[in-house]
């Protein structure tokens, strides 16, 4: 919205822009980008290639997503198995509903068998509050607390905790009964965080690169944004675990460690934007505007 | 994320889907869609054609947006004048930054004169808290209160108030100095609400139809998602005030009245999703998941 101004996006999926240092309240406040630029290598964690799925679309674009085995292990085991057995090779983007979700997998009429998976995994919608949970020092609109566990966005009522449906987070589609989602169809959030879905579906990962190749697709013409048929859908040529790719083709990403001092400084900078542009820092940031920064491995 | 389930989207721009009534806590809880379907005609306000802008893109798609003269009168007067003087006829979509904004107007190299406007309107970022403000009964992550004034999303610190940068809300682009945005370039939010922009830019309206024809565009390849040049941009063939169109071409929309009992029931239903699908209602809804429903005039 700036005629030509440097500014970082709301989702931290792509690190761009920079802003000058300015004086505020007598103290020099770094911008979010300056905090990232100054962060030591130790503040960045390389994502395991066993947790990375590289999905190639028929138009040649790649979307890379990270699985969350610590939070939904049975669903994640299913997804790894589905990927390795080739289930998603030849699947499609099934649905793009504006301001809501992109969903992919095989359409109902495709009877390709999903081999070697647990067809009825446990719900995995919640888990015991992990000891490493770091709450943001700001209010959350939906939960008593929201913050991070191992750089994932997590909400908690003080007893249990759950992954949050922020922009780019991935969940497992299901039918009405809670145990009907095996991982054969996945979705990612593309609008304002649909937090009413939290604790109602299994959240299993997040898109960390190429999100724009899902969000720029035509919205589906059928109810809920489903595409009508294969003439509207784009194929997924292949989905591969990064660990199974030859080293030369293997992407590598780093996520900022939510336990690092640099991350805490980054949160503070996100809540208190500096630079010549901002006349009124918000003084707060909500969890879905505080998703852990991602960069290519360095 | 539902293999084939009926569900409404997070943004209420498009009213779709329905859900069965179910028993919860002994009481019958209607779904958001059921509340809308049952709302009386008196719960809907027709948007004045003097506040509606119809923007036609070179691909034939139309995007219709509503101006907010009650909150940013000088900027809105500028935009009406720019529309009526043809300033946007032949302008372009300039920028699509994923998870952030779509921005339109004329590129820097286009020296078309903006005639008859106030070149330096006052900031209009905040206003005195209107007496008709209805706060949501839920926490807000950014402000002391968030709620609605005449069906617009408004936040307040108890003294002043401001329009919120929810998905689909429209603001006025500016340069670094606060008085540099006249309305010649506008943007709309396309990801998780960028609330850090609240009180930093003039919010002047919202997209109420055709949002998907802005969000489905290729993301810009340059810094901040700007398009490189006209070879990447799509033209805006025309922008017209609905009031100036022949009656047969004039679109007409209704927004649910945030002062109506039906609206209060709808908010409650959004916060407490019912139906066979939801195992765990959120018990809250944030302001940007509670944008006033829109429908074509009936």
pLDDT at A178: 83
Nearest to B3 among A98, A175, A282 (CB): A175
Within 8 A of A278 by CB-CB distance, chain B residues are 196, 200
More confident residue, A181 or A3: A181
Nearest to B10 among A1, A99, A175 (CB): A99
A288-297, B93-102, B188-197, B269-278: least confident range: B269-278
A40-54, A204-218, B140-154, B265-279: least confident range: B265-279
C-beta of residue B203 within 8 angstroms of C-beta of residue B70: no
Nearest CA in chain A to B189: A1
> Is A32 a residue whose pLDDT tops 90?
yes
**Inter-chain touch A167–B284, beta carbons under 8 Å:** no
Q: How far is the C-alpha of B19 from the C-alpha of B254, rounded, in Å?
A: 23
Q: State the residue for tokens 């790894």.
A: A80
Backbone angles phi, psi at A155, to 5 degrees: -115, 160
> Is A4 a residue whose pLDDT tops 90?
no
Q: Within 10 Å of residue A25's Cβ, how many Cβ atoms?
A: 8
Q: How far is the C-alpha of A140 from the C-alpha of A146, rounded, in Å?
A: 6
Mutate to test the interface with A, among B6, B8, B10, B94 (most CBs of A within 10 A): B10
How does B127-161 read in b/e, with b if 16+ C-beta sit within 10 Å? bebeeebbbbebbbbbbebbbbbbbbbbbbeeeeb
Whether A167 and A106 share a structural domain = yes
Whether B165 and B272 share a structural domain = no
pLDDT at A28: 62
Q: How far is the C-alpha of B184 from the C-alpha of B92, rounded, in Å?
A: 11
**Inter-chain touch A192–B167, beta carbons under 8 Å:** yes
**Angle CA A49–A168–A121, to nearest 5:** 70
Q: Do the domain assignments include residue B176?
A: yes
Whether A153 and A245 share a structural domain = yes
Chain B nearest C-alpha distance from A246 (Å): 29
**Inter-chain touch A9–B191, beta carbons under 8 Å:** yes
What tens digit of pLDDT does each residue of B203-251 get?
Answer: 999 999 999 999 999 999 999 999 999 999 999 999 999 999 999 999 9
C-beta of residue B275 within 8 angstroms of C-beta of residue B19: yes
Q: Do the domain assignments include residue A268?
A: yes
What tens digit of pLDDT does each residue of A239-286 get?
Answer: 999 999 999 999 999 999 999 999 999 999 999 998 888 999 999 999
Mutate to test the interface with A, among B192, B208, B209, B227 (most CBs of A within 10 A): B192
* Burial bucket for residue B89 (CB in 10 Å: 0-12, 13-18, 19+): middle
Least Cα distance to A233 among A56, A113, A58, A114 occurs for A58
Structure tokens of A240? Answer: 């591969």
Domain containing B194 equals 48-251
Within 8 A of B94 by CB-CB distance, chain A residues are none
Whether A94 and A113 share a structural domain = yes
Within 8 A of B2 by CB-CB distance, chain A residues are 173-175, 224
ipTM above threshold 0.90: yes
Whether B65 and B133 share a structural domain = yes
pLDDT at B275: 80
Nearest CA in chain A to B7: A224
Within 8 A of B100 by CB-CB distance, chain A residues are 9-11
β-strand partners of B45 = B255
What tens digit of pLDDT does each residue of B100-111 get?
Answer: 999 999 998 999
Whether A233 and A175 share a structural domain = yes
Instruction: Kindly report the average pLDDT of chain B as a whole number.
Output: 91
Whether A67 and A98 share a structural domain = yes
**Inter-chain touch A279–B178, beta carbons under 8 Å:** yes
Nearest to B100 among A4, A9, A101 (CB): A9
Q: Do the domain assignments include residue B131?
A: yes
Whether A34 and A128 share a structural domain = no
Within 8 A of A268 by CB-CB distance, chain B residues are none
Whether A285 and A211 share a structural domain = no
Within 8 A of A139 by CB-CB distance, chain B residues are 139-141
Chain B nearest C-alpha distance from A213 (Å): 8
pLDDT at A24: 41
Question: Helices H, strands E: what count in chain B?
Answer: 4, 18
Strands B101-105 and B92-97: antiparallel
Q: What is the mean pLDDT of residues A194-210?
A: 98
C-beta of residue B51 within 8 angstroms of C-beta of residue B67: yes
Whether B67 and B126 share a structural domain = yes
- Beta strands in B30-185, from DSSP E residues, in sequence order: 44-46, 52-57, 62-67, 92-97, 101-105, 127-128, 134-135, 145-149, 152-156, 160-163, 169-172
- In CATH, what number is assigned to the domain containing residue B117? 2.40.100.10
Mutate to test the interface with A, among B13, B59, B97, B98 (most CBs of A within 10 A): B98
Least Cα distance to A189 among A65, A91, A78 occurs for A65
C-beta of residue B71 within 8 angstroms of C-beta of residue B121: no
What tens digit of pLDDT does each residue of A132-189 get?
Answer: 999 999 999 999 999 999 999 999 999 999 999 999 999 999 998 887 899 999 999 9
Within 8 A of A109 by CB-CB distance, chain B residues are none
> Is B19 a residue whose pLDDT tops 70?
no
**Angle CA B139–B144–B147, to nearest 5:** 65
DSSP states of A40-96:
-GGGEEEPPGGGEEEEEETTS-EEEEEE-TTT-HHHHHHHHHHHHTTTTTT-EEEEE
Q: Do the domain assignments include residue A10?
A: no
Whether A30 and A125 share a structural domain = no
Nearest CA in chain A to B9: A100
Nearest CA in chain B to A276: B176
Chain A nearest C-alpha distance from B277 (Å): 5
Q: Do the domain assignments include residue A15?
A: no
When divided into structural domains, chain A yields a total of 2
Nearest CA in chain B to A199: B280
Nearest CA in chain A to B226: A4
Contact pairs from chain A to chain B, CB under 8 Å: 238
Whether B27 and B94 share a structural domain = no
Instruction: Kindly report the average pLDDT of chain A as a whole number.
Output: 91
Nearest to B212 among A98, A108, A167 (CB): A98
Q: Do the domain assignments include residue B9?
A: no
Mutate to test the interface with B, among A7, A191, A208, A211 (most CBs of B within 10 A): A191
**The residue count for chain B:** 298
Nearest CA in chain B to A222: B16
Within 8 A of B24 by CB-CB distance, chain A residues are none
Q: Do the domain assignments include residue A287?
A: yes
Chain A nearest C-alpha distance from B177 (Å): 7
> Helix (H, G, I), strand (E, B), or coil: what is residue B42?
helix
Chain A nearest C-alpha distance from B140 (Å): 5
**Inter-chain touch B215–A211, beta carbons under 8 Å:** no
C-beta of residue A52 within 8 angstroms of C-beta of residue A144: no
Q: Do the domain assignments include residue A116?
A: yes
- Reported as type and span, the H/E element at residue B75 is helix B73-84
> Is A116 a residue whose pLDDT tops 80?
yes
**The residue count for chain A:** 298
Nearest CA in chain A to B155: A282
Nearest CA in chain B to A155: B282
Within 8 A of B175 by CB-CB distance, chain A residues are 2-5
What 8-state DSSP symbol labels residue B130? P
């Amino acid at each position: 919205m700036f005629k030509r101004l440097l500014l970082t996006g709301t989702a931290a999926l792509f690190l761009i822009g920079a802003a000058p240092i300015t004086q505020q309240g007598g103290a020099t406040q770094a911008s979010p980008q300056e905090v990232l630029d100054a962060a030591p290598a130790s503040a960045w964690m390389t994502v395991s290639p066993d947790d990375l799925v590289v999905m190639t679309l028929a138009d040649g674009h790649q979307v890379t997503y990270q699985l969350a085995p610590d939070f939904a292990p049975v669903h994640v085991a299913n997804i790894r198995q589905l990927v390795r057995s080739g289930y998603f090779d030849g699947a499609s983007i099934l649905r793009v509903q504006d301001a809501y979700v992109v969903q992919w997998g095989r359409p109902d009429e495709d009877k390709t068998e999903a081999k070697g998976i647990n067809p009825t995994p446990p719900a995995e919608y919640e888990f015991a509050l992990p000891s490493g949970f770091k709450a943001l020092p700001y209010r959350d609109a939906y939960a008593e607390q929201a913050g991070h566990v191992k750089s994932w966005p997590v909400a908690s009522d003080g007893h249990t905790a759950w992954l949050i449906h922020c922009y780019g987070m991935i969940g497992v589609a299901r039918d009405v009964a809670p145990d009907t989602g095996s991982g054969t169809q996945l979705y990612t959030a593309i609008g304002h965080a649909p937090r009413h879905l939290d604790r109602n579906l299994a959240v299993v990962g997040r898109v960390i690169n190429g999100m724009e190749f899902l969000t720029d697709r035509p919205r589906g013409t059928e109810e809920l944004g489903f595409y009508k048929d294969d003439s509207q859908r784009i194929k997924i040529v292949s989905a591969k675990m990064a660990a199974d790719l030859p080293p030369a083709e293997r992407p590598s990403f780093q996520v900022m460690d939510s336990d690092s001092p640099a991350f805490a400084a980054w949160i503070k900078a996100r809540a208190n934007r500096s630079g010549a542009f901002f006349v009124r820092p918000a003084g707060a940031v909500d969890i879905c505007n505080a998703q852990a920064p991602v960069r290519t491995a360095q």
